[in-house]
């Protein structure tokens, strides 16, 4: 159980960082949006190990070789977009209200949970006794940390709102770079 909790926290760190970047973009905390973001991150972080477990070894040897490049590219694109918007819409930032982009949240949730897919394959190889319990723990811990991440990001963004979008973009790019190594 302790190993599963530690594993869950480790898997949730990318989602936590991405949630912080989303919170940075919110002028005022919106708990409904924080809940939606956390639900998507928690769901995908729990679903991907289940998917990895069910697919098993056959697909992994092909996917593992390119997944880090896909994650890096997608996170960098989203991060660069945030940085670009910070410089080109700088005057509007303080007046604009954060609009939740569900498509972007889904993409972030998927790419921050790709490592959970690999963990699911590991679960298949090690014959985990209760896969449903394991993925529920992973999903719940990710949900809690992601919800908290949005709040932390928002508190930081309130103090530094002018640079918040730039920092959020940099965080996403750094997550992508981390996945390369």
Give the residue with greater pLDDT, 133 vs 14: 133
Alpha carbon dihedral 155, 104, 119, 56, in 10-degree steps, equals: 170
* Total number of domains in the chain: 1
Residue 93 confidence (pLDDT):
38
Domain span at 122:
2-180
Res. 161: pLDDT tops 60: no
- pTM of the entire predicted model: 0.73
Tens of pLDDT along 105-149?
999 899 888 878 878 877 776 667 788 999 999 999 999 999 999
Q: What is the pLDDT of residue 140?
A: 97
pLDDT at residue 128, rounded to an integer: 75
Alpha-carbon distance 106 to 40, whole Å? 7
pLDDT above 50 (res 92)? no
37-91 per-position pLDDT tens digit? 999 999 999 999 999 888 875 665 665 667 677 767 777 877 787 677 667 654 4
Lowest mean pLDDT among 46-55, 145-154, 168-177: 168-177
């Amino acid at each position: 159980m302790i190993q599963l909790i530690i594993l869950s926290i480790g898997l949730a760190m990318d989602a936590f960082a991405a949630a912080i970047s989303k919170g940075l973009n919110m002028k005022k905390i919106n708990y409904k949006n924080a809940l939606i973001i956390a639900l998507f991150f928690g769901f995908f972080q729990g679903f991907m190990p289940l998917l990895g477990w069910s697919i098993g070894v056959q697909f992994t040897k092909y996917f593992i070789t390119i997944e880090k490049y896909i994650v890096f590219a997608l996170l960098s694109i989203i991060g660069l977009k945030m940085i670009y918007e910070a410089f080109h819409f700088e005057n509007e930032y303080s007046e604009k209200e954060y609009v939740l982009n569900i498509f972007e949240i889904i993409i972030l949730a998927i790419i921050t949970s790709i490592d959970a897919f690999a963990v699911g394959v590991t679960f298949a190889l090690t014959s985990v006794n209760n896969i449903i319990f394991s993925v529920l723990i992973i999903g719940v811990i990710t949900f809690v940390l992601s919800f908290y991440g949005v709040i932390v990001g928002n508190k930081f963004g309130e103090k530094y709102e002018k640079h918040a979008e730039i920092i959020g973009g940099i965080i996403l790019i750094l997550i992508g770079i981390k996945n390369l190594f």
